[in-house]
Structures are given as structure tokens and as C-alpha cells.
Amino acid sequence: MSQSVTLQRGQAVDFYGRLEEEVREHQSGAALLFLYCEGQPGTESCVQQFVDQLPGVETEVLRDESTGVLAVVMPGFTLDAAHYQALLLKQHLQSRLQQADPRITLAAIQEAPSMQTMKQMAETARLSISSDIHIFTEEDTGGAQSRILIVDQDKAVREFLQIRLTMQGYETLEAVDGLEALELIPKWEPDLVLTELNLYGIDGLPFIHHIQQLDMKHPPKIVVLTEKRVEQTISQCFQSGVDDYVTKPFSPVELDARIRRCLH
């Protein structure tokens, strides 16, 4: 994985992680707004200026550096009230930025939505072809996707697994080594870690132990996909709590079945 791709993914995780923390601070209910305004420098400062004058709102406008999407949490706002303010925000931007054509997605929330739901909201705003404000509902989320973190230093293997697992309906993220994976797991909270044992930095059983020691409400399942075929290694992995062990070269169909068995 290139450094630029790794950086972008790390920025995305930080963006949604910070946004989740912001939402959790307002358990009494809030509105969540995502905004995208293509090719308009100064959008963020204009949005922050607008937010600063909202009654009862003291919040920072968050920006996903990898996509340019902005997010605002509006504590105490009903959907109707937030929708009205979103219309005013749209007018505010169009009056101050030449040719501004903001795309806005809005939802009322009582508890922190999943990272996947927030990503869907952000993408709805970024990819919208309509200037109408989109009200995001439960119907938009569809079925919740399981998240799989792929950990392998071989770029070709990562790309193959990413494409195949995405086609199977999973949300995926990649890590090139154990250290990067240990940083991503608590932030991204994958349902399953699919990992090689031969990794840079930290590998093998120590890497497995570190995953299991992370302070997480729902620790991920662990499936080893490795070139190591030594019986003792396989036995030690299962004794350490690994959910499945697959050796390379592997059958993609068999791997699909084993992942489904672990997740369901």
C-alpha cells in the first residue's frame, strides 16, 4: 500500500473517530449534517462562521481531508429545526462563495451511528447529483456490512482479498504490517481481522496476543491466512484464541465459507 493511500485511510478513520466522540457527547439527541461543496476553497470557514451563530451550538466543523466532506453535530436540534438551518446554511454559502453548489445530507440521531452509517451519509452528500437537502433515514442504511481488516505485506494478496471481499458485501480496510493494524483496529473496530503471520514490525503469536489485549467492547474475530504450515504454529494459534487458520495457496471459495462461519 502506498504511503499516500495509507495516509488517506488513516485520515478517514481519524475523521469518523472524532465525529463519533462528538456525537457521544450529546446523548439527549442531535442532528448530524454532512456537506460537500466541490472546488470551493473557504467552504469550511464559511460553515464554521454559520455554525458559530447557531443558538446553543458550540461545536467544531470537522473535515475529512481525504474527500473534502464536512460534518457538523447540532445538539438539541430536531430534524425540522436542523432542516431549516441547513437551508439557511445553503443560502449563506451561495451568497459568499461564487458558484457554490453545496450538497447536504441530514439526519436526526438519538445515539452514535455506526462508522459505516456515517460513511454512507458522507458519501450520499459527496456523490449527490441533486441540490436538494437529503434526509437520511434507516432505509438508506440497508443491511449492516461486516468490516474486515486485511493484514498482509504482499500488495497483490491485499488487492485480491480486498476486491473479492468487497464483492461478497464486506467493508474492507488494509494494513501493510502488524503495527499499522494495531493502530487501526481500535479506531475502525473491524468485525474480523484476516492476517498473515509473517509481518514487519510485529508478527506471529505476539501480534495475535496484542490484538486480544486491546481494550475493545467487541474484539474482532481472527482468521490467519498464512504460508506457515508448521503443526506447532497452527496448534499455538488455536490455543491463543484464533478462530480459523488457512494456509496459502488457498481456495477463495473455502476462504469465503470460513469467513462466513466466523462472522455468523
When divided into structural domains, the chain yields a total of 2
User: Would you say 61 and 51 are in contact if contact means Cβ atoms under 8 Å apart?
Assistant: yes
Read off the pLDDT of residues 92-150 as tens digits, 9 standing for 90 and up.
999 999 888 999 999 988 777 777 788 888 888 888 888 889 888 766 655 557 899 99
One domain, residues 207 and 245 = yes
The parent domain of residue 256 ranges over 147-263
CA dist 9 and 249 (Å) reads: 28
CATH number at residue 256: 3.40.50.2300
At which residue does the C-alpha cell 493484514 appear?
151
Residues of the chain with pLDDT under 50: 1-11
According to the model, what pLDDT value does residue 83 have?
Answer: 94
With respect to residue 1, please indicate whether it lies within any of the assigned structural domains.
no
According to the model, what pLDDT value does residue 54 have?
Answer: 86
Buried residues in 241-260 as b, exposed as e (16+ CB within 10 A): ebbbbeeeeeeeeebeebbe
Dihedral, CA atoms, 256, 206, 9, 31, nearest 10 degrees? Answer: 90
CATH number at residue 127: 3.30.70.270
CA dist 235 and 176 (Å) reads: 25
One domain, residues 113 and 151 = no
One domain, residues 27 and 134 = yes
Query: Treating both helix axes as pointing N-terminal to C-terminal, what angle do 204-213 and 231-239 enclose, rounded to 10 degrees?
Result: 10
According to the model, what pLDDT value does residue 50 have?
Answer: 94
